[in-house]
Structure 1
């Protein structure tokens, strides 16, 4: 179910899947998409988590999906990394009012970067954090613009900022070869954004927050305590399993023994783990 919730800047799209018999003791889950995407990326995830008794939501940031749209110039050049967390903060307040609890936060790619930035820069605490091929706290610039990354992107398809993506090129870069054509078509039709904030995107190429700050904002889950899960797809060409390991290592180095820092790599998946052939495995790993 899709709803629009109010924010000080404009309406935000929030996809919702509620269990038939919700357990109010279990915190809800809020999913956040990456760059050039929308909440629609999580359509396959939402009913799965709802079937497990968890109230589940996916947010489209400003300029994405059915959320309010800044002008092209404002989105590209005036929307900074500081602005997107405002949308997430508003959504968390909405869910806390509705469900009585702050959600577990799950972010893919740039969305994972926004969540890490949010937890450090805002007076917000969350029960737990899941990072799916997320932007690195230490900055991903030296990896993304490296020679090997360039070679793979050139030989497999267009770069991530190419607005002229075609179906096969998109499959080559963002999905596994086995992914069904219809899945890629749905992403192109429902989720792909032609333009993204240049200023915000560049911000995560350099160090933008600290693992200590993120861990300090996690309150933990009742049975397991404070947890961070770092997920990757072994066929991801942009944020590789090795890069995700660097982020996980940063959390381990910052932890004082009070947290559980976990890594998991989905072997058959490309960049869009929540849509690719291994999406059920990815959902199961998050659930477990």
Structure 2
């Protein structure tokens, strides 16, 4: 293997943004003309007559990810009547790329600007298509993209109709998400000259972090071609400590049943607007970490209920009656959506969407 630093890419892609790659039938690529540069947006619309009843889904990737990691999910949900959109932030996919060191120190707030621009752009598109104003999306955010999403929601950068933390980094602190790399990180970081991709150079490293040991090598190899050549180091570091309280995120999710004095005794429990989805074999955002996040959000909801802001159940119960749904997808690891058995996670998300 070449000496560490030379096994990695240090220059911006050329051209910038990169040339588009072929997409499956039914999925189109366009660009959002953000102030910083062109941002990639993939779109998959239902082939059948659109009746405007099902919410639009907005997919947000994690670190080193891109919109193309959601292709299977976009086709799956579009076939079931859901308009689907997926974004690539700057420095990812077919969006524009900052030069290496500028990307290295790109902040969480800057990355969130791309996410917010994408959500607002899709809201406008969907409002036009539906002929209504105020259309909101259901946000499905993976890994570090989940942390970005919680940050954006807590800062009221936009509102959503539902939020799925899809093997997502919790906003209550994420030190535990990186314990898998704790022993090897110092060695690889130095050997690879502090490159941001120092832990994801080989196919084996990618498989160990993102997939199960049973995943075929060729499958992981194809997946690695979608990973960005470098990443922001500042973005994930800003999520190591807690940056949300819980109610600040929940209050940006619309559709909770509001307390009405005349209906206190008879109004129904709220819809499960928050899904925390974990992967059984995830070594990063482990089921234990995400179960803790779900429990924290449940407590946050109860606090909001006790203060009279929202109506909810009198006490926390396990199961579907909870306002925060927690599920574990068996037999998969961190990149649930990119496993050969990706339908397992899609089915869980569909079951949640159908009760919104």
Q: Work out whether the TM-score is over 0.5.
A: yes
Q: 1:264 to 1:70 in 2, by over 3 A?
A: same
Aligned to 1:93: 120
In structure 2, relative to structure 1, the CA distance for the partners of 1:221 and 1:252 (3 Å cut) is: closer
2:98 alignment partner in structure 1? 70
Aligned to 1:38: 66
- Structure 1 stretches of 5 or more lacking a match? none
Residue equivalent to 1:174: 210
Partner of 1:135: 169
- Deviation of 1:235 (Å): 0.8
Which 4+ runs in 1 deviate beyond 6 A?
221-224
Pair 1:80-2:107 in alignment: yes
1:247 aligns with 2:297: no
Query: d(CA) in 2 for partners of 1:235 and 1:80?
Result: 30
Question: 1:128 touches 1:221 (CA, 8 Å); kept in 2?
Answer: no
Paired residues of 2:156 and 2:252 also in contact (CA < 8 A): no
More off after superposition, 96-105 vs 177-186: 177-186
Query: Offset of 1:50 from its aligned partner?
Result: 0.1
Which residue of structure 2 lines up, in the alignment, with residue 238 of structure 1?
284
* Long gaps (5+) in structure 2: 1-27, 128-134, 190-195, 258-267, 306-310, 313-321, 352-356
- Structure 2 distance, partners of 1:15, 1:164, is 25
The DSSP-based 3-state class of the residue aligned with 1:14 is strand
Shift of 1:43: 1.1
Q: 2:152 maps to which residue?
A: 118
Provide the TM-score with structure 2 as the length reference: 0.74
- For residues 196 and 48 of structure 1, the distance between their equivalents in structure 2, rounded to whole angstroms, comes to 29
Is the alpha carbon distance of 1:243 and 1:163 closer, same or farther for their aligned partners in structure 2, counting shifts above 3 Å?
closer
Residue in 2 aligned with 1:13?
A: 40
Match of 1:107 among 141, 163, 166: 141
Which of the numbers 268, 273, 284 marks the counterpart of 2:336? 273
Deviation per CA, 1:168-199: give whole Å up to 9, x if none: 3322221112323333122211x212321111
RMSD, aligned CA: 2.3
Larger radius of gyration: 2
SS in 2 for 1:274: helix
Q: 1:161 to 1:239 in 2, by over 3 A?
A: farther
**What whole-Å deviation, never above 9, does each CA across 1:70-129 have from its counterpart, x for those lacking one?**
11111101x111111211221122111211122100100100001110111134211000
1:164 Cα shift? 5.7
Task: Name the residue aligned to 1:53.
Answer: 81
The DSSP-based 3-state class of the residue aligned with 2:145 is: helix
1:206 and 2:241 correspond: yes
Q: Which residue of 2 aligns with 1:284?
A: 347
Matched, 1:193 2:228: yes
In 1, distance between residues paired with 2:216 and 2:41?
Answer: 26
SS at match of 1:137: coil
Task: Output the CA distance in 2 between the equivalents of 1:135 and 1:145.
Answer: 10
For residues 125-152 of structure 1, the C-alpha deviation after alignment (integer angstroms, 9 at most, x for no partner) is: 11000001111121111x1454xx347x
Q: Distance in 2 between matches of 1:81 and 1:172?
A: 26
Secondary structure class of the residue paired with 2:108: coil
